[in-house]
Amino acid sequence: MAARSANPFEVTDFSAGITDDVFEQAYNTYATLDNFILTSDGKPASRDGSVIDNDTPANDQIPAGVQRIGTLINYANNTTLFVHSAKAFYYRNPAAYATLTGPTGNSVLSTGTVTNALSYTQWNRHIFLTSDAFPRPQKIYRDSGGVYRVRTSGLPALASDPTVVIGTAETNDYLYAFHYHYTYMVGDQEHQDFGATTVIEVDDSSDPGTSPNTINSIPVISNGVIDNWDTTVIKVFIYRTIAGGSTLYKIGEVTNGTTTFNDTFADTAIVDNDIIYTDDGTLDFDPTPESKLVHVVNSTGYYGYIKDGSEQFPNKVRQSVPGDPDACPEDFETELEDELVGLSSAKSNPIFLCKKHIYRCEGAFDQFGRGGMNPIRISDTAGCVSNLSIVQAENGVFWAGNDGFYYTDGYQTIKISDNINTRYKNLLGEQTQRNRIYGKFDELNRRILWGIQSDSGSLDNDSSIVLDLRWGIKPKSVFTTWSGNSFMPTAFEFFNDSLYRADTRGYVFIHDSDTLTDPKIDTAADAEDWNRETIIWTYQSININFGGTFFRKIPTRILLTAANRADTTIQISAINDDGKMTRNLNVIRWRRNFTWGDQSFVWGNEDCVWNATGLIEQWRRFPARGLRVSYVQMVITNGFSAITNSDTDGNATFNGAANTATLDNVTLAWPEDAVDYFIYTEADDYTQGFLITTRNSDTVVTVTDPNNVLPNGSLQWVIRGFKKGEPLNLLAYNIHWQDISQTQETFETGSSGENQ
């Protein structure tokens, strides 16, 4: 059969996301889309670069130094960004990090290390938090003076019963009651905490108005090394009935630390006083339990995976009093059939995520103990592997499950990552990998970022997987990835409409649309002295068969179309027949834009038009060798090319003993971003490249020379590499191709094992 005439094959839509199945897929899917975002019209644009939150020495790193940051929290809608590491919380005040501590100097968390995962929730300008190390639950807020406070969540019951010494013995019987009370301000709003009540029966007393009773041994609440109660402000409220009565009237209060009180009040003098909060049948406000998990929805707190003394109850959830998230009657509990991993909510329904089962909770206890929690199982198998992976977005909950990423609206549960099952399986290799999956919703751009450890051999999270919600929630949702040499995203947060990224080495970074590189982290140097790293963006298509496999094909050339965001260098490669051969096309080196401060810019370049935009449209021919294919994959990534050379900056003197290169003209300078580029010399016709490791000064660089072959003397040179700060906004590519006759192996010459 004669070959058909040349055909165009055009890809203009990239909106279907990555896939592990690279054969016979729609052409808007791809094997790789790394360090790109998808624009609203489904085009890949290289992701924003990042800068450190503060690069001044002593302010660039958390006070703990090189230590993993576990969580970032945007407090009260962009008021402050809290940075959590191990037991401590930090915040900028205003530039240097301040360490948040309790009234007696204790850390926010009473126990835990960098390996423990925080659980937190926000309600009414409070942060309620705990962790899987079972610290005493805490709350953080900003008081009326603008000062950040940390307090132990809730109030305990009195540690022991006070004693009442009767003034004069008579026939009156009384009840005395006590509880701790704390009033505090969050901004201009007053809040009150009530502790559980202690009731003492006193018989055969006279009316204290006639002969006072003395109350002794009122217990003193103290912080020790684990708590953060405001011990100098907490009060003990004291109540008493009238003779033979049951209603408890307030007769006074003492500040914590005062251990005695004189009851001098006649029965007739107290009947108009305030009544104890339990008088109407309200249950005791027990303090929040030690637990791994906390979540607030409908102004009601839920605490999961409870610890009582030394005993753990991994299936239990305890509810707070509605409207008071840190008052938790002990009877407000339900027990699930599976071990809890996380808590969340969707459309006001609490969601309990366990190792295998997922539950929606219907109903709740009221303050009198009426009603109850009714867990309804909505998935038997999805499970959850990481509390930190749970993300509330798009009127539902997303999380990392047992075999993929999942979504629920509280009623149905959908696996949304059937297109990346192989990749997802690699995230679950070790328990530490699972615990480190950390998700955050980008509301502005409708995407979820998960920090992940894609390789069990990595020291920590090494990349991010991104779910783009613009194209819907479905079994094969749209995923892409981010990565980088220094990119170790332990946590994400959106603060003041910017993406903040935490790092395992104690730094916080801000992603910025005006920045096209990432910092090269060097913990031994101040951040202001760090070098920059090239962001390597990579697109790799699925295997393209141009509509069928019966004929072999010859792709002869490709037209790449991109938006002109800036100068860029693009390498297009072709992978034949699922890896049989890889061929590099000639590099596209687009240099028609002017960037202020670019040392390599040549004035008078007629190709450069000031403030030009437009399109980048470039044809490239496929190399002649290996043209015949059944399938071809196209790879589009950064090109390795010349950065600058001695024609611009003059010869340099190379020193093989010192591994240095020094510009002969001292009025010139090596490129600011020379580190991580390679320098070649005329000594071997520019064959051997030497990695530049240090830019010692404007005129001196140090290189690596493991084979001791760096030449000596004044030589011409060229610097090559993946140029830093070059973006790509890919719009389309079009492959020019033809059918040819059948050239596949026949049975006679094939692999039957009989005709060799």
Look at residue 435 in the predicted model and tell me its pLDDT.
Answer: 94
Q: Does the pLDDT of residue 64 top 90, yes or no?
A: yes
147-156, 203-212, 271-280, 624-633, range with the lowest pLDDT: 624-633
Model pLDDT for residues 304-315, shown as the tens digit of each residue: 999 999 999 999
Q: How confident is the model at residue 747 (pLDDT cuts 50, 70, 90)?
A: very low
Q: Does the pLDDT of residue 3 top 90, yes or no?
A: no
For the chain, what is the largest distance between any 2 Cα atoms, rounded to a whole number of angstroms? 120
Q: What is the rounded distance in angstroms from the CA atom of residue 103 to the CA atom of residue 166? A: 37
The pairing of beta strand 17-18 with beta strand 29-34 = parallel
Q: What is the rounded distance in angstroms from the CA atom of residue 346 to the CA atom of residue 740? A: 56
Q: What is the rounded distance in angstroms from the CA atom of residue 48 to the CA atom of residue 35? A: 9
Look at residue 746 in the predicted model and tell me its pLDDT.
Answer: 46
Q: DSSP of 498-536, one letter per residue?
A: EEEEEETTS-EEEEETT--EEEE--TTS-GGG-EEEE--
Model pLDDT for residues 413-470, shown as the tens digit of each residue: 999 999 999 999 999 988 999 999 999 999 999 999 999 999 888 999 999 999 999 9
Produce one character per residue of 630-648: b if its CB has 16 or more CB atoms within 10 Å, e if not.
bbbbbbbbbbbbbbbbbee
Q: What is the rounded distance in angstroms from the CA atom of residue 6 to the CA atom of residue 568? A: 30
Residue with tokens 């009326």: 144
For the record, the structure tokens of 415 come out as 């696996």
Q: How confident is the model at residue 594 (pLDDT cuts 50, 70, 90)?
A: low
For 511, other C-beta atoms within 10 Å of its C-beta total 18
Three-state DSSP at 381 gives coil
Q: What is the rounded distance in angstroms from the CA atom of residue 672 to the CA atom of residue 694? A: 11
Residue with tokens 């699925």: 542
Q: What is the rounded distance in angstroms from the CA atom of residue 308 to the CA atom of residue 330? A: 11
User: Rounded mean pLDDT of the chain?
Assistant: 94
Look at residue 457 in the predicted model and tell me its pLDDT.
Answer: 86
Per-residue pLDDT, averaged over 485-514, amounts to 97
For the record, the structure tokens of 232 come out as 């100098």
Q: Does the pLDDT of residue 596 top 60, yes or no?
A: no
The vertex-160 CA angle with 167 and 249, nearest 5°, equals 55
Produce one character per residue of 451-471: b if its CB has 16 or more CB atoms within 10 Å, e if not.
bbbbeeeeebbbbbbbbbbeb
Task: Compute the Cα dihedral for 599, 604, 605, 609 and give only its sign.
Answer: positive
Per-residue pLDDT, averaged over 112-120, amounts to 97
For the record, the structure tokens of 353 come out as 């995520």
Ranges of H-type helices in 618-705: 646-649
Closest CA to 538 of 353, 295, 722: 722
Q: Does the pLDDT of residue 748 top 70, yes or no?
A: no
Look at residue 429 in the predicted model and tell me its pLDDT.
Answer: 87
169 Cβ partners below 8 Å, 6+ apart?
204, 205, 206
For the record, the structure tokens of 100 come out as 């948040």
Q: Looking at the chain, how many residues does it have?
A: 756
Q: What is the rounded distance in angstroms from the CA atom of residue 661 to the CA atom of residue 682? A: 13
Instruction: Give the start-end residues of each E strand in 513-667.
Output: 517-520, 531-534, 538-541, 553-563, 568-576, 581-584, 588-590, 615-621, 632-638, 640-645, 652-655, 660-663
Per-residue pLDDT, averaged over 19-47, amounts to 96
Three-state DSSP at 431 gives helix
Per-residue pLDDT, averaged over 62-85, amounts to 97
Look at residue 756 in the predicted model and tell me its pLDDT.
Answer: 43
For 100, other C-beta atoms within 10 Å of its C-beta total 21
For 18, other C-beta atoms within 10 Å of its C-beta total 23
The vertex-671 CA angle with 669 and 675, nearest 5°, equals 125
Q: What is the rounded distance in angstroms from the CA atom of residue 173 to the CA atom of residue 451? A: 64
Q: What is the rounded distance in angstroms from the CA atom of residue 296 to the CA atom of residue 153? A: 13
Of residues 626 and 754, the one with the higher pLDDT is 626
Q: Does the pLDDT of residue 745 top 70, yes or no?
A: no
Per-residue pLDDT, averaged over 102-130, amounts to 98
586 to 605, 623, 709, 728: CA distances (angstroms): 22, 9, 29, 17
Classify residue 367 by its DSSP letter: T
Three-state DSSP at 277 gives coil
Look at residue 4 in the predicted model and tell me its pLDDT.
Answer: 53
Look at residue 741 in the predicted model and tell me its pLDDT.
Answer: 66
Report the predicted TM-score, pTM, of the whole model to 2 decimal places. Answer: 0.93
Q: Count CA atoms closer than 13 A to 499's CA, side-chain side.
A: 25
Q: How confident is the model at residue 625 (pLDDT cuts 50, 70, 90)?
A: confident
Task: Compute the Cα dihedral for 594, 595, 599, 600 and give only its sign.
Answer: negative
Q: What is the rounded distance in angstroms from the CA atom of residue 491 to the CA atom of residue 439? A: 8
Per-residue pLDDT, averaged over 287-294, amounts to 97
Domain covering 642-722 assigned CATH 1.10.3470 in the classification = no
Q: Does the pLDDT of residue 609 top 80, yes or no?
A: no
CB 300 within 8 A of CB 322: yes
